[in-house]
Amino acid sequence: MIWVLIAIAFWAFTWWLNGRIANSPAAGTRWAKLVVPVIFGVTVLVVWEALVRGLNVPPVILPPPTAIGAKVASSLDVLWVDFVQTFMKGALTGYLMGCGGAIATAILIDRSPFLQRGLLPVGNFIAALPIIGTAPILVMWFGFDWHSKAAVVVVMVFFPMLVNTVQGLADTDSMQRDLMKTYSANYWQTLLSLRLPAAMPAIFNGLKVATTLALIGAIVAEFFGSPIKGMGFRISTEVGRLGLDMVWAEITIAAIAGSAFYGIVAVIEKGVTFWHPSQRG
């Protein structure tokens, strides 16, 4: 009972604290923008911990955060093996191949308005479909190891990436293209020094969306069969054994990997598209 009271009290206190910070003159500062969400996150963790202890929730339903943290710390070697298998081999390979292929395809069809008019609606349509369903097929074709996971990731990221790149390449106005013409620039010069740089914001938009898709694809594809390592494999087998602390540990790693992946792409974007209004803020 005491734990439940602690949870309520802590919640009320941080709620009041965040309200104070958010409505104080310091609300617009960088410091406040960092501290408020952190306080909220810590509150969620503390309330979770206190409620699980106070209400005696069995660990097979919801383990407390401390147990998850301990599990992460004690099984770093397993987590690392899974991370390499799923993220480095499956997701990253597929991501590079899929995004690279999509950008190359977009440039290839760039000279043909006919193909663009045909491929864009089809690409948009396919991008909205539950492509994850191709996972069982691709696992059959490419075997249980990471190759099939990379293939699922390629299929998942290809179309969003293609649509974004094609739209980005169209993102110059006639003034700019006319200027290139007055310089008597040929097609490739215009492409390399005007249109590709101008397409970068759209391309990076696609690249950022694709980071999440890549990780989801690699993890879910492992539910359909995998060697005895990998994040998806570990999640599905540990769920079966009710080892929920291990499941949460994998999810923690997946969340960190996903955010870091997204963050790295966002940092590269900042360097490449420093000229774009959205980056000047």
Partner 1 sequence: MMKSVVPILTVVVAIMVLWYAAAIGMNAKWARDQATRADVTLTTPELIADTWSQERPVLPVPHQVASELWKTTGAMALKGRAFSKRSLIFHGWITLSATLLGFVFGTGAGILLAVGIVHNKAMDMSVMPWAIASQTIPILAIAPMIIVVLNSVGIQGLVPKAFISAYLSFFPVVVGMVKGLRSPDGMQLDLLKTYSASGGETFWKLRLPSSMPYLFTALKVGMAASLVGAIVGELPTGAIRGLGARMLTGSYYGQTIQIWSALFAAAILAASLVGIISLIERRMLKRMGVKP
**What are the residues binding partner 1 (CB under 8 A)?**
15, 18-19, 21-23, 27, 32-33, 36-37, 39-41, 60-62, 114-119, 121-122, 125, 128-130, 132-134, 136-137, 139-141, 211-212, 215-216, 219-220, 223-225, 231-232, 235-236, 239-240, 242, 244, 247-248, 250-251, 254-255, 258-259, 261-263
Nearer to partner 1, 23 or 174 (CB): 23
Round to whole Å and give the CA distance between 191 and 227. Answer: 44
Residues 220/205, Cβ–Cβ less than 8 Å:
no
CB of 192 to partner 1, least distance (A): 27
CB of 180 to partner 1, least distance (A): 27
Considering only CA atoms, which of 204, 200, 199, 235 is closest in space to residue 83?
Answer: 235
Nearer to partner 1, 71 or 198 (CB): 71
Round to whole Å and give the CA distance between 21 and 12. Answer: 14
CB of 220 to partner 1, least distance (A): 6
The continuous run of DSSP H or E covering 238 comes out as: helix 231-240
CB of 19 to partner 1, least distance (A): 4
Nearer to partner 1, 192 or 260 (CB): 260
Nearer to partner 1, 190 or 205 (CB): 205
Nearer to partner 1, 116 or 273 (CB): 116
CB atoms within 10 A of CB 46: 16
Residue 111, SS3 per DSSP: helix
Nearer to partner 1, 156 or 198 (CB): 156
**CB-based burial of residue 102 (10 Å sphere; 0-12 exposed, 13-18 middle, 19+ buried)?**
buried
CB of 48 to partner 1, least distance (A): 14
Considering only CA atoms, which of 154, 115, 165 is closest in space to residue 131?
Answer: 154
Round to whole Å and give the CA distance between 224 and 226. Answer: 7
The encoded tokens of residue 278 equal 């959205």
CB of 198 to partner 1, least distance (A): 24
